[in-house]
Amino acid sequence: MKSDELADHLFTAVLGTFDVLAVHIGSTFGLYDLLAAQPRTSAEAAAAAGMAERYCREWLEQQTVAGLVEVDDPALPAHERRYTLPAEHVPVLCDRDSLSYFTPFARIVAAAAVQLPALLAAYRTGGGVGWHEYGEVMRTGQADANRPLFLHVLGTDWLPALPEAHGALTSGGRVADIGCGDGWSSIGIALAYPTAEVDGFDLDPASIEAARANAAAHGIGDRVRFHHTDVAELATPDRYDLVTAFECVHDMPDPVGVLRAARTLAKPDGTVLVMDERVPETFSGPGDSVEQLMYGMSLLICLPDGLSHPGSVGTGTVMRPDTLRRYAREAGFARVDVLDIEHDLFRLYRLIPSEG
């Protein structure tokens, strides 16, 4: 890349960073919902959002200049202009059920930026920044980013592609959801299979608390239970028809130990399903936008989180298929099959315990 091209590239990245942080501000104050409901002046929007008018006015003008928000007449005096959110932008900025919903990613970036001093210290010492240190903004951002996928795709498109698991869950089978976070994967499975029972496991107490509240809000708290525990340390594990690990293996300090536990949790005819990042098979220098995204997530979030645990293998977000295959082999699985399921960001694997 020539010097002027690089400068243009980085300048565009700066503009994008400002946009993303501004989206986080607007989402935090509920401004997008307010502007989607009706046009508002800066004073009206500020009053409804609980925001200082001068800051709200600057935010509205920035959003208009960036093309996210529309203004009725830019020639009017500043206090008379009315702003609105175009209908086509609502799925991206307001609709939590939309597969296009973007604001959680802005939350993730904002939460990572707050930790830059701690990240710089970790880079010097080789230490880490634990998941809990990123706080609620990061936790809910991660959870809400995958929420539409888990609620609307996982149980209707992905699991039916696994005939044994689909049949078992349709008949009231049991699921162990490892690294369940705020519970949306567990809840999505339970909603898709009304007689199935799901146990979610996670090491983060705030996530477990949120998961229990989310399950109760969906009226399935009797079938979906969440446990603050390490599955690798379960003394007498139950057996399950389906064992899942969605976008979490790369974060684990001991992925082999957890996958070994997953193999133990699965019934002899059960299914072990892992979802992780769709990165290329090998490192080859300049990469596509997905690989760039995953390296960014790794630099600021996943690798520091992984390395915050003593003895961590330090996988990082960019867990290539061969790395998972090696972990699975060391955990006692015979092979790993990549499922024929297309998604821009994720790859799904079925871990086979034996060749028989």
CATH number at residue 157: 3.40.50.150
CATH code of 72's domain: 1.10.10.10
On average, the pLDDT of the chain sits at: 96
Residue 83 falls inside a structural domain: yes
**Same structural domain for residues 78 and 121?**
no
Residue 356 has pLDDT above 60, yes or no: no
224 and 155 within one domain: yes
Residues 192-221 have a mean pLDDT of 97
Backbone angles phi, psi at 200, to 5 degrees: -100, 140
Query: What percent of the chain has a predicted confidence (pLDDT) above 70?
Result: 99
In a shared domain, residues 216 and 73: no
> Encoding tokens for residue 182?
């705020």
Helix orientation angle between 131-149 and 103-114, rounded to the nearest 10 degrees? 170
Residue 263 lies in a domain: yes
- Label residue 355 by pLDDT band (50, 70, 90): low
Same domain? For 233 and 116 the reply is yes
**Token pair in block for residue 269:** 């005819």
* Whole-number Å distance between alpha carbons of 190 and 180: 13
Predicted confidence band of residue 354 (pLDDT cuts 50, 70, 90): confident
User: Does 102 map to a domain?
Assistant: no
Q: List pLDDT tens digits, range 115-167.
A: 999 999 999 999 999 999 999 999 999 999 999 999 999 999 999 999 999 99
Report which secondary-structure segment, H or E, holds 196.
Answer: none
User: What is each CA distance from 72 to 41, 78, 168, in whole angstroms?
Assistant: 10, 11, 56
Would you say residue 123 lies in a domain?
A: yes
Could you tell me if 142 and 181 are in contact, meaning their C-beta atoms sit under 8 angstroms apart?
yes
Q: For 233-277, what is each residue's pLDDT tens digit?
A: 887 778 999 999 999 999 999 999 999 999 999 999 999 999 999
The residue range of the domain holding 71 is 3-94
Q: Residues 29-70: pLDDT tens digits?
A: 999 999 999 999 999 999 999 999 999 999 999 999 999 999
- The pLDDT, as a whole number, for residue 77 is 97
Between 16-25, 214-223, 301-310, 347-356, the lowest mean confidence (pLDDT) is in: 347-356
312 confidence band (pLDDT: 50, 70, 90): very high
pLDDT at 17 over 80: yes
DSSP code for 97: T
Distance CA 324, CA 3 (A): 38
Residue among 196, 339, 312 nearest 252 (CA) = 312
Q: Looking at 94, 128, 146, which one is the last position of a domain?
A: 94
Average pLDDT over residues 1-28: 96
Tell me the C-alpha to C-alpha distance, in Å, between residue 339 and each of 35, 139, 160, 288, 355. Answer: 42, 28, 12, 22, 17
Same domain, 43 and 161: no
- The pLDDT, as a whole number, for residue 234 is 86
CB-CB contact of 116 with 154 (8 Å): no
What pLDDT, in 10s, does the model give residues 316-330?
Answer: 999 999 999 999 999
The pLDDT, as a whole number, for residue 1 is 80
Which residues, in sequence order, are bridge partners of residue 313? none
18 and 160 part of one domain: no
Of 94, 119, 138, at which residue does a domain stop? 94
What is the model's pLDDT at position 56? Answer: 98
Can you give the length of the chain in residues?
A: 356
CA–CA separation, 136 vs 191, rounded Å? Answer: 26
- Averaged pLDDT for residues 200-220: 97
Per-residue pLDDT band for 300 (boundaries 50, 70, 90) equals very high
Is 184 inside any structural domain? yes
Looking at the 3D structure of the chain, how many domains does it have? 2
In this prediction, residues 172-182 reach a mean pLDDT of 97
The predicted model gives 209-214 an average pLDDT of 98
Nearest CA among 129, 170, 70 for reference residue 298: 129
* 197 and 246, same domain (yes or no): yes
Last residue of a domain, one of 48, 70, 94: 94
- 160 and 117 fall within a common domain: yes
Locate 58 and state its tokens: 């600057």
For residues 113 and 84, state if they share a domain.
no
